[in-house]
Structure 1
């Protein structure tokens, strides 16, 4: 019943919840930066005229985009140590750890999505600007670094930020590895104090408030970029 709810549990456990929220934001930022970096490299590889490199990048992206993130997390956490053990012939599986698995998995997974975003951004730049770079004596990599990528990042920034908001929501999956993110902290408190409704409702409100605010700011940014164009 609603009159049985005790929201004082939130104020009592707020420092622990805040620690979990800080972890969620930290993992989101690091995964977004790493995903953007490797995603950009993958995008350039997919657009490369060197076919083996382009096929490898395309295969990686298609694989990651075709498998649920939860399975990727479990595969890396449970299977990679066993695979490394079989390769190194060690006596016991190497313990990668839940935290390290979370960071590596999210960077690997998000790189595939950021790759497609950056590939669209690179292809949105007219061929004439590429030729202009070559006319100035730039190499392919110099043209990419000085001419193409800055414009691609600007064009795709709203979409990159939107994907980061999705990433922020997906980070809650690491709680299944017993990592104390925001959701994981709430789950532990809810089970300990038997206040599942209060904690889950609070988490939902926080996620909604942050995601809605960030989405609103992204829309404002998208309008400003459209005006600049």
Structure 2
């Protein structure tokens, strides 16, 4: 039955497998599955790189930190579309290395996402304050150990909602991959709309719904991570409270001798 004889939503249902994964497994991965895959890779790369840059900013000497901050500001000022374009066309010309279309998009999104995540994490480090870090240093930790074991876990817990926002933004920015010919969800939607003239509203409404599910899934991952970190924090607090209670009970059951009692026992005369 030709598409012209079908209702708009019937066209969407007919083309839904193509919207979800393209011609996979008989062809390359495309559609919503490719969008989700690029989003996962970009979010992972941006998070790892962003945390690493934030740690570098915290530990580096002031001149190096200023240079890195200037570079991050330049990355945040560049439109994502231009960064994808430059990475695809200029990288082979300057470095002589050809990178695939999907890898180019993931690299560009990871770089720009890392610039935002580094800023978020640096603000989190400042919010924790110097007191806990100084206490860790007083206990014999190195600056890197204090940052990694004391400051970073608290910063991640506090900044997870902001990280989730960056991840959602990166997932939506995968739609810009069309400029280098990546057949992701929005490109597939344009192809379906070209084959099914007259049903653009239904086709793009379905695409918007797929993007909504992808973004909700990413936000759910961030919420689960936040819940897990808070549960771990509560478990640590209860464990610390239990240890403190046990020590208090042991102290009350076996109180240590006071200096007065020790002195009085020494001053008593010996029995005849």
With normalisation by structure 2, the TM-score equals 0.71
Aligned ranges for residues 117-196 of structure 1 at < 5 Å? 117-194=120-197, 195-196=199-200
How far apart, CA to CA, are the structure 2 residues paired with 1:166 and 1:112? 13
* Distance in structure 2 (CA, Å) of the matches to 1:5 and 1:35: 42
Superposed CA deviations along residues 82-138 of structure 1, whole A, max 9, x for unmatched, are: 1123xxxxxxxx432211101111111110001111111111112111011111211
- 1:218 to partner: Cα distance: 6.5
| Among candidates 180, 196, 203, match of residue 199 of structure 1 | 203
Equivalent residues of 1:162, 1:218 under 8 A apart: no
Report the more deviating stretch, 156-165 or 53-62: 53-62
On the 8 A contact 1:45/1:54 being kept in 2, the answer is: yes
5+ long unaligned stretches in structure 2: 22-30, 238-272
Structure 1: gaps spanning 5 or more residues:
86-93
- Give secondary structure in 2 for the equivalent of 1:7: helix
* Match of residue 59 from structure 1: 70
Aligned counterparts of 2:41 and 2:114: Cα–Cα separation in 1? 12
- Provide the C-alpha distance between the structure 2 equivalents of 1:30 and 1:217, rounded to a whole number of angstroms: 14
| 1:23 and 2:26 aligned | no
CA contact (8 A) 2:167 2:218 kept: no
Greater RCO (CA < 8 Å, at least 6 residues apart) = 1
- Give the drift of 1:213: 7.4
Q: Which residue in 2 is equivalent to 1:34?
A: 45
Q: 1:83 aligns with which of 82, 94, 99?
A: 94
Bigger Cα Rg:
2
- Contact in 2 for aligned 1:27/1:171 (Cα 8 Å): yes
Q: Say whether the 8 Å CA contact 1:65–1:112 is kept in structure 2.
A: yes
**Per-residue deviation at 1:71?**
0.5
Q: Which residue of 1 aligns with 2:27?
A: none
d(CA) in 2 for partners of 1:213 and 1:22?
13
Aligned length: 217
Residue matched to 2:15: 13
Distance 1:126 1:150 in 2: 14
Q: How does the TM-score come out when normalised to structure 1?
A: 0.83
Hey, what's the Cα distance between the residues in 1 that align with 2:18 and 2:98?
26
